[in-house]
Amino acid sequence: MSVLVQGSVKRTLFRTAFPMLAGTFAMNAYHLADTWFVARLGTLSLAAMGFTFPVVMLLTFVAGGIGTGVTTLTSHALGRQDRAAASRLVSHGFALSMLIAGLMALVGYHTITPVFSALGADARTLPLIGDYMRTWYAGAATMTLPMLGNGILIALGDSRAASQFIMIGTLLNLVLDPIMIFGWLGCPAWGIFGASLATVISQGVGTAWLFHLLIVKHRLLAFRPAEIALIPESWRNIMRFAVPAVISMMLMPISSAVITGLVSRFGTEAVAACGAASRLEMVAFVIPMALGISLTPFISQNFGAGRLDRIREAKSLAMRFALAYGLGNAVLFFLAARHLAGFFTDDPAVTGILVSYVRIIAWGYGMMEVHRYCGFIMTGLQRPAAATTLNGIRVLVLLLPLSFLGAWLGGIRGIFWGRLATDLAVGSIGLAWVTRLLATHPGISGPVGQPAGAGMAAPAARAAATLDPNGRQLPPANVPPAPTVNPSAPPTPTDGQSASSPERKP
């Protein structure tokens, strides 16, 4: 039986999430380390990093959307004990991820100037942006594959290895950054180009270790010639789940790009402050993100096994954690805002804007995590369109209109108030939606510890078997009635069948 459908829900989630704390911090530390070292080069270089953030987010979330599709289908296959299908999906998913990363990198490499000019970059920052992004695009594949492999390792119950392979790359990046940026140990002082090169090399090493884990340790990644003909079918199945996830994730960097353009109207200092604050937020989300990363494979595996009781318990636990953590983090950030700003810059203008950002927006962090968790749960329940709709409400209905309204009414700080109102509203909407979705679901699972299917009604059995081994939707099928507790007792009448009727055949 798959490891995520057994034992205490609380222990399983936190046992999976705890090793990911270091790995989640490591994922964010790539950008944080680059930002900290580049900030030593001056405000212009820091502003250039701020302009790259929306584009890096865009490509990262496209890769993450594909990873969500592969992880969801693989977790469902593992939940129904079909390892052959899981291996095929992982192998074909890796090929799809590399293909799409290569195409996007090719387009991005040749459109650096027009794209970043549209974001508000000027003649002073464009050369620095080009130095960073050309190298980053060249190593795009080393960014996408670790994101894909991370979810697969968690679905396999090997979150410790998932954390370790990410940490390898991060530690190497921390060593290479000062060497390549400032010219230590005889290396040329490459500046912002050195930051990008260090990241690509470090991610490449982590990717090599990931291949070792999936090929040698778990024997899940294997390109079999006999299955080449099945690649188009696998890609269609993956994209059926991935496209809504990609759209959902792309809304975030697109909104970030629009807001970056809006912020640029208030000067280079405002862009630098918001870029640094965005990296700081990534550190704040390390702990809740570790739990969030574990949610989709947990929900998907238990959905594959028909364990809706465990899904409901996981949802309740995750929401309570998000709210408690968000409140504590908001208090800490409010009190330490000026000290945190000093970590990045000594420019008084940048410091003032950064402090305002942190002291206003941090009060919505708890509900922002509630919103994220709701999206993970919807995806695990094979409702990716619902997750996309929730993100669409956040970005198109709330965030962008409120940001422009805030800028008009209150300047740069009005943008921050618009973001806070967005996070509070969308978290409430997501929580109500997921609660209703689980309350009205037709499936009823047995108690924790009971084998999947024991004591389950026919609707739950149908809900648990919605996909075939290739991930395709199955039509509703007749399901035999649940077995009676006493095998020697006469059959219990079911709806539409009297006690004297012939026994219904499967």
- At 334 the pLDDT is 92
Q: Residue 450 and residue 62: Cα distance in Å, rounded? A: 39
Residue with tokens 């979150």, as numbered in its chain: 159
Q: Residue 49 and residue 42: Cα distance in Å, rounded? A: 11
Q: Residue 324 and residue 348: Cα distance in Å, rounded? A: 33
- Give the confidence band of 445 by pLDDT, cuts at 50, 70, 90: very low
- At 278 the pLDDT is 82
Name 19's Cβ contacts closer than 8 Å, sequence gap at least 6.
Answer: 159, 160, 162, 163
- At 433 the pLDDT is 94
pLDDT tens figures, 331-340: 999 998 888 8
- Using the predicted structure, report yes or no on whether residue 158 has a pLDDT greater than 60: yes
Mean pLDDT of 289-309: 82
Read off the tokens for 341. 């700003």
Residue ranges of the alpha helices (H) in 393-486?
A: 400-439, 458-464
Domain boundaries along the sequence of the chain:
3-439
pLDDT tens figures, 460-491: 333 334 444 444 444 444 444 444 444 444 44
**Percent of the chain whose pLDDT exceeds 90:** 20
pLDDT tens figures, 177-219: 999 999 998 888 898 899 889 989 988 888 888 888 888 888 8
pLDDT tens figures, 240-260: 888 887 787 777 767 877 888
Q: What is the pTM of this model?
A: 0.68
- At 397 the pLDDT is 93
Work out the angle at residue 196's Cα, subtended by the Cα atoms of residues 161 and 148, and round it to the nearest 5 degrees.
35
Mean pLDDT of 301-329: 88
- At 493 the pLDDT is 42
- At 473 the pLDDT is 45
Read off the tokens for 419. 């973001």
169: phi then psi, degrees, rounded to nearest 5 = -65, -40
Residue with tokens 């919505």, as numbered in its chain: 364
- Do residues 53 and 275 lie in contact, with contact meaning Cβ atoms separated by under 8 Å? yes
Which residue type, as a one-letter code, is found at position 431?
L
Question: Pick the residue with more confidence: 427 or 45?
Answer: 427
Q: Residue 224 and residue 233: Cα distance in Å, rounded? A: 15
Read off the tokens for 62. 């496209």
- At 432 the pLDDT is 94
- Do residues 129 and 48 lie in contact, with contact meaning Cβ atoms separated by under 8 Å? yes
- Give the confidence band of 421 by pLDDT, cuts at 50, 70, 90: very high
Mean pLDDT of 55-81: 81
- At 27 the pLDDT is 67
- Give the confidence band of 342 by pLDDT, cuts at 50, 70, 90: confident
- At 25 the pLDDT is 67
Mean pLDDT of 44-59: 82
Question: What is the number of other CB atoms lying within 10 angstroms of the CB of residue 228?
Answer: 11
- Do residues 353 and 274 lie in contact, with contact meaning Cβ atoms separated by under 8 Å? yes
pLDDT tens figures, 106-147: 998 899 999 888 888 888 889 999 999 999 898 888 888 887
- Give the confidence band of 496 by pLDDT, cuts at 50, 70, 90: very low
Q: Residue 375 and residue 400: Cα distance in Å, rounded? A: 20
